[in-house]
A and B are shown apart, each in its own frame.
Chain A
């Protein structure tokens, strides 16, 4: 920190010295030049900020427009409430995929949130200092592992194990996908919850201990409620990742358009269906439009989650 400050201070001082030096002849020049640079730089910055927003809107517009074309040939009710996805026969019912996505996400959250919170409590409250400084970077690294690797692991290790457990030759399905997704989102959720728990002021804990509470009582009744909004934020982020995850799910879910009535039945979700079929369909066909509509649904779900996070943060800021 300090040497950066010194060197940058030196740099500015150097500029100043030069400006004093050239003052007689070219000071006006230099000033216009600098203000020109300044203004150009600002304009470039504004342009890129607008560009980022523009991407979001063009995505929304394009996906929405292409998706809406579905309803020229398929009724809204059929798309959302029919379970018959047979594009060859002009049947485009997406209920299987929509419900698949929701069930899979719910299952993933059910497994991953309790474990993640325990890991976060372990990191923030119980582990000795050296272990903490070792494990936090490790978790950060795990966040960056590509999803296709988790899918590969699920396919080569998890599914044979599940086959052994069930005794049948079907291993892929909701449970396998949920386990793979859990392993994927666990580092994310635990790291953010860990930060939230660490940010709880120490005086809360001191007050709780001073009242004679045990560590269990302090954590469950004081620390976790105080970190609640941060933990919910972590949960929503993990959920967004689980909903949008494609490759890890594709590899273990079985990709069969049928409603899953059991944990070990091959099924499909929105993302897996899009990625498996998009390459084989011509762009201006109802089939393709239906796939874009499914993408548009995903987009809306993820944007809704951001709104939820914003509201959560505002509530946290007020209380």
Chain B
């Protein structure tokens, strides 16, 4: 090999080496900065709101005019709506998922059903809100209620739960299923005693995802449950207006005329983020530990 080509080769190698280093640096910088930036924002919310929290605020009634209003009823509504919507969507979503994973024949019709589920999962949340108005306000004439909000939220969450369940059950090794059949278990017994317990990890992760989403969802609730509350604590009536915490945060920040709106919004945002993180962490932590132990 001549000296010329060697040097050409060397210079190309040097340039390539530099480019490689530059690329590595850019990727590191962008990766770290982006993630730190987003986490920093969340930290900022928590840090601005959490220290100022008091029991009065968490428990107190919201006020329209005087400063010092709390978020009691909205916080309660958030959990109430969340629980009702989960009560509706978990059984429906799980059984639909089980059907798709276990019983469904592999034909074009089922393929079509899958596309429907996937399509429904991508429908923007505001559409569910419009749908909820059309059903509950127009057809049933009940107005803006907790029930309407919860059912619309349940519809929003159904397809996600269906898909998560289907995927989790499909991921169960077929040896386990076959072993259950070989022991004489019926299909229902196999599903109940083998498939669901094994797939539980995935299913619970999905439920957390859905619960967090439902807790923070605001567009659906604004349209179907309104922006006001009944104004009293522990109102279990399904037919009272049910603004949730997320809606209240929006309302206070952009519509309300309370003098301390900014402070209420700070604190409400902190509570919202805190609860969503709590839902995700609390439910997943035992599962993570469990996986690590059994591995």
Chain A contact residues, CB within 8 Å of chain B = 1-5, 7-9, 11-13, 15-16, 19, 34-35, 37-38, 41-42, 44-49, 51-53, 55-59, 62-63, 66, 115, 118-119, 121-123, 125-127, 135, 138-149, 151-153, 155-157, 183, 186-187, 214-217, 219-220, 237, 240, 243-247, 250-251, 271, 274-275, 278-279, 283, 291-292, 295, 298-299, 302-303, 305-307, 309-310
24 contacts between A and B (CB under 8 A): A8-B176, A15-B189, A34-B186, A48-B93, A48-B95, A49-B96, A52-B92, A52-B116, A56-B123, A66-B134, A119-B30, A146-B246, A146-B273, A152-B265, A215-B20, A215-B23, A246-B125, A247-B219, A275-B222, A298-B124, A299-B127, A302-B119, A302-B127, A303-B123
* Residues on the B chain within 8 Å of A217, using CB: 16, 20
Per the bound structure, the CA–CA distance linking A54 and B288 in Å amounts to 36
In the complex, the answer to whether A145 meets B276 with C-beta atoms within 8 Å is yes
* Residues on the B chain within 8 Å of A309, using CB: 118
CB of B239 within 8 Å of the partner chain: no
Chain B contact residues, CB within 8 Å of chain A = 16-17, 19-20, 23-24, 26-28, 30-32, 34-35, 38-39, 41-42, 44-45, 91-93, 95-96, 98-100, 102-104, 113, 115-120, 122-131, 133-135, 137-138, 155, 158-159, 162, 176, 179-180, 183-191, 193-194, 197-198, 208-209, 212-213, 215-219, 222-223, 227, 246-247, 249-250, 253-254, 262, 265, 269, 272-273, 276-277, 280-281, 294-295
Inter-chain CB contacts under 8 Å: number:
295
Return A40 CB to nearest CB of chain B, in Å.
9
In the complex, the answer to whether A251 meets B216 with C-beta atoms within 8 Å is no
In the complex, the answer to whether B183 meets A9 with C-beta atoms within 8 Å is yes
In the complex, the answer to whether B273 meets A295 with C-beta atoms within 8 Å is no
* Residues on the A chain within 8 Å of B28, using CB: 122, 126
Per the bound structure, the CA–CA distance linking A311 and B127 in Å amounts to 24
Smallest CB-CB separation from A36: which chain B residue?
B188
- Identify the 8 closest CB pairs spanning chains A and B, nearest first: A146-B216, A244-B124, A122-B31, A45-B99, A246-B219, A144-B212, A214-B20, A48-B96
In the complex, the answer to whether A305 meets B122 with C-beta atoms within 8 Å is yes
* Residues on the A chain within 8 Å of B269, using CB: 149, 152
Per the bound structure, the CA–CA distance linking A64 and B79 in Å amounts to 33
The listed residue (B31, B125, B189, B216) touching A145 by CB distance below 8 A is: B216
